[in-house]
């Protein structure tokens, strides 16, 4: 361990990691350069914003049989939100990063490679690329700005420092290409994890979080919209972006004081089946509806999506369409492309639909910035009753898995809320099994055969050819129309 004196206030600044280049003085926020011969002053480093994360400097845990301690932190912000990167010192002296974004966590470690990946400006979400000798799918391409730091860090960070990063995926594995220092990028390899799987120690409890942030993390709170004064419920530390249900103002709840990002227009209230704030009891967990979003495809078909949050279960989506309800969750392990299908855990899913989805209404709290007019490209893949859905924007691609949810089950979760809701009218089987035209053609062929029964008996040889040709003229176009429908 190396101990230096802060050039600004004289306090001790300790370096535990040999890879750390600088540290932030915990007393005066000065960035201290690690140079025993000549202590460098890198200027003041901004405080992190409202600190709702349960992780803190000194938190310890275990990953892949390796013990680690949190020794530093960066807070990074981009257009749609922000996240924390915690700098880890492993017991063997190596270092890594623990990504912390809206309750989802990843661990990555340095992966030296002589290979030069694609330049940052050429990467697009959904691209197949080769990096570190393997094939990956580009999941996220971002330029983020550092808004605060703590503890030890492996590179110089100052006012206005930007991170240019691309996240790649392969099933449950993760690869980060960091272009912040130019080309070629630094490469970090890792996986998605849960906080519980790390067996963490010295986490902050609710009271400690409340003392620094003023509110409890992940427990529904209310604030007054600064644009119209209406009350808004949200989750401190989990949902940084809000849409006022009354005036549609977009609010940034990650700032010390909630700021209005864009004044909303007065709109007529949109009635939804599940209201904001509705609470569900799912097993022994309580979920709360914190956000409501309505979307439409390019043909005008609309559906409603409800964002639910539970302190232990995290985020869950309920999707309401004309055909019924579905429960959907984000996927940490992604499927692999196989032409027009995808493969997940050796199970194939066939491509069902591809369409653009545009936000037509939004209200409540979300863990990313959402606005009316936002559009994503959607692909759906199906296996039995289970669907995998990919949503792509200019900056990222996400995958989710959904299954049908019976209305009776939903009513049991929300007692009293859905008592007057009726199940959707089901389409006849002939219209939903992918063979409706063939069914109609078979019916007409049978009718034609019955009408020609007498001519067939009188002159079989002269009539059968015309009957067969008429049947084919009905059935072959029906096959084409059914195949067109399925596509």
Residue 47 has pLDDT above 80, yes or no: no
Average pLDDT in the chain: 79
pLDDT of residue 259: 52
Q: Which domain holds residue 376?
A: 218-413
Residue 231 has pLDDT above 80, yes or no: no
Domain contains 98 = yes
CA triple 82-88-92, angle to 5 deg: 165
pLDDT of residue 50: 52
pLDDT of residue 447: 59
Residues 370 and 277 in one domain: yes
pLDDT of residue 384: 93
pLDDT of residue 175: 93
Decide which of 132, 165, 198 is a domain's last residue. Answer: 198
Name residues whose C-beta falls within 8 Å of residue 250's C-beta, 6 or more positions apart in sequence: 241, 242, 243, 244, 260, 261, 262, 264, 369, 371
Residues 337 and 447 in one domain: no
Rounded CA-CA distance 148/142 in Å is 18
Domain contains 166 = yes
Rounded CA-CA distance 407/325 in Å is 7
% helix, strand, coil for the chain, step of 5? 15, 45, 40
Domain contains 236 = yes
- The alpha carbon of 12 is separated from its chain's Cα centroid by a whole number of angstroms, namely 41
Residues 122 and 172 in one domain: yes
Residue 56 Cα distances to 84, 149, 270, 311, angstroms = 11, 12, 41, 19
**Region 277-303: what's the mean pLDDT?**
89
Residue 265 has pLDDT above 50, yes or no: no
Residues 392 and 438 in one domain: no
Residues 338 and 443 in one domain: no
Domain contains 17 = no
The answer to whether 201 and 59 are in contact (CB under 8 A) is: yes
Longest dimension (CA), the chain: 114
pLDDT of residue 35: 64
pLDDT of residue 267: 46
**Region 73-78: what's the mean pLDDT?**
85
Rounded CA-CA distance 96/70 in Å is 10
Residues 182 and 282 in one domain: no
Residues 75 and 133 in one domain: yes
Domain contains 304 = yes
Give 116 or 123, the one with higher predicted confidence.
123
The answer to whether 293 and 359 are in contact (CB under 8 A) is: yes
pLDDT of residue 205: 78
Residue 80 has pLDDT above 80, yes or no: no
| pLDDT band with cut points at 50, 70 and 90 for residue 428 | very low
pTM: 0.67
Give 156 or 57, the one with higher predicted confidence.
57
| pLDDT band with cut points at 50, 70 and 90 for residue 429 | very low
Residue 139 has pLDDT above 60, yes or no: yes
Residues 108 and 236 in one domain: no
- Beta-carbon count within 10 A of 231 CB: 12
Residues 118 and 168 in one domain: yes
Decide which of 198, 230, 251 is a domain's last residue. Answer: 198
* pLDDT tens digits, one per residue of 309-327: 876 677 899 999 998 999 9
Rounded CA-CA distance 400/421 in Å is 27
Give 237 or 333, the one with higher predicted confidence.
333
Decide which of 152, 170, 198 is a domain's last residue. Answer: 198
Residue 461 has pLDDT above 70, yes or no: no
**Region 156-167: what's the mean pLDDT?**
83
Share of the chain above pLDDT 90, in %: 34
Residues 152 and 192 in one domain: yes
Residue with tokens 């849960």: 194
Total domains in the chain come to 3
Residue 486 has pLDDT above 60, yes or no: no
**Region 53-61: what's the mean pLDDT?**
90
pLDDT of residue 148: 79
Residues 437 and 392 in one domain: no
């Amino acid at each position: 361990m190396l101990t230096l004196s802060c050039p600004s206030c004289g306090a001790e600044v300790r370096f535990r990691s040999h890879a750390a280049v600088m540290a932030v003085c915990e007393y005066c926020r000065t960035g201290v350069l690690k140079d025993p011969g000549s202590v460098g002053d890198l200027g003041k480093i901004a405080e992190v914003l409202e600190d709702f994360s349960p992780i803190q400097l000194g938190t310890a845990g275990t990953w892949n049989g390796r013990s680690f301690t949190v020794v530093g932190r960066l807070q990074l912000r981009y257009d749609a939100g922000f996240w924390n990167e915690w700098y880890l010192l492993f017991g063997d002296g190596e270092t890594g990063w623990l990504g912390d974004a809206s309750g989802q966590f990843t661990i990555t470690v340095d992966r030296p490679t002589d290979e030069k990946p694609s330049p940052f400006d050429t990467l697009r979400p959904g691209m197949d690329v080769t990096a570190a000798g393997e094939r990956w799918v580009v999941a996220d391409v971002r330029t983020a700005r550092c808004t605060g730091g703590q503890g030890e860090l492996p590179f110089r960070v100052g006012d206005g420092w930007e991170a240019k990063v691309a996240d790649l995926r392969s099933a449950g594995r993760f690869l980060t290409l960091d272009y912040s220092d130019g080309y070629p990028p630094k490469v970090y390899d890792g996986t998605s994890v849960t906080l519980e799987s790390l067996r963490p120690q010295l986490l902050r409890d609710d009271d400690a979080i409340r003392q620094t942030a003023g509110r409890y993390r992940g427990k529904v709170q209310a604030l007054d919209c600064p644009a119209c004064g209406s009350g808004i419920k949200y989750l401190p530390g989990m949902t940084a972006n809000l849409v006022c249900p009354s005036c549609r103002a977009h609010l940034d709840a990650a700032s010390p004081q909630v700021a209005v990002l864009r004044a909303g227009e007065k709109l007529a209230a949109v009635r939804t089946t599940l209201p904001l704030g509705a609470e569900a009891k799912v097993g022994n967990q309580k979920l709360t509806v914190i956000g409501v979003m309505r979307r439409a495809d390019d043909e005008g078909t609309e559906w409603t999506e409800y964002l639910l949050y539970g302190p232990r279960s995290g985020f869950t989506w309920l999707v309401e369409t004309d055909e019924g309800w579905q429960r959907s969750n984000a996927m940490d392990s992604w499927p692999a492309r196989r032409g027009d299908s995808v493969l997940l855990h050796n199970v194939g899913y066939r491509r069902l639909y591809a369409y653009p989805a545009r936000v037509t209404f939004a209200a409540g709290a979300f863990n990313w910035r959402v606005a009316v007019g936002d559009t994503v490209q959607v692909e759906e893949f199906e296996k039995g009753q289970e669907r995998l859905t990919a949503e792509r924007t200019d900056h990222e691609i996400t995958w989710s898995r959904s299954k049908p949810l019976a209305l009776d089950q939903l009513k049991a979760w929300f007692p009293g809320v859905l008592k007057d809701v009726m199940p959707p009218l089901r389409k006849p089987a002939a219209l939903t099994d992918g063979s409706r035209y063939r069914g109609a053609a078979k019916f007409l062929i049978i009718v034609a055969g019955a009408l020609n029964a007498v001519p067939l008996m009188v002159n079989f040889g002269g009539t059968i050819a015309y009957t067969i040709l008429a049947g084919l003229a009905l059935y072959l176009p029906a096959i084409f129309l059914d195949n067109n429908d399925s596509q």
